[in-house]
Amino acid sequence: MLSLWLHRVARSTVVSSLLFGSGAMASGLQVSPTSLSLQARENASGLTLSNSSDEAISAQVRIYQWSQDETGDQLTPSRGLLASPPMIKLNPGDKQLVRVIRAKAPPQGAGAVEDSYRILVNELPIKSATQKTGLQFALSYSLPVFVQPVDIVKTDSQLQWRYSLQPDGKQITLRVSNSGNGHAKLIDLSIIDAAGNSVNIHQGLLGYVLPDTTMNWTLKIPPSALKKGAIAGKFKVTINGNQTMQDVILDNSIR
HSE at residue 126, side-chain half, CA atoms within 13 A, is 19
Which of 165, 153, 183, 148 shows the shortest CA–CA distance to 220? 165
Give the C-alpha separation, 155 to 183, whole Å. 8
Which of 205, 212, 159, 214 shows the shortest CA–CA distance to 186? 205
CA of residue 181 relative to chain centroid, distance: 17
DSSP reduced 3-state for 224:
helix
Which of 182, 44, 66 shows the shortest CA–CA distance to 117? 66
The pTM of this model reads 0.83
pLDDT attached to residue 26:
46
pLDDT attached to residue 135:
57
Give the C-alpha separation, 160 to 239, whole Å. 13
Give the C-alpha separation, 106 to 147, whole Å. 7
CA-based end-to-end distance of the chain: 21
Rounded-to-10 torsion of CA 16, 21, 27, 33 = 140
Q: What is the pLDDT along the chain (255 residues), one digit of tens a residue?
A: 333 322 322 222 233 333 343 333 446 899 999 999 999 999 999 999 999 989 899 999 999 999 999 889 999 999 999 999 999 999 999 999 999 999 999 999 888 999 999 999 999 877 666 655 555 667 899 999 999 999 888 899 999 999 988 888 788 999 999 999 999 999 999 988 777 788 899 999 999 999 999 999 999 987 767 765 567 678 999 999 999 999 888 887 766
Q: What angle do CA 50, 52, 57 make, to 5 degrees?
A: 70
pLDDT attached to residue 230:
63
Determine phi and psi for 251, rounding to 5 degrees: -140, 100
201: how many CB neighbours lie within 10 A of its CB?
A: 21
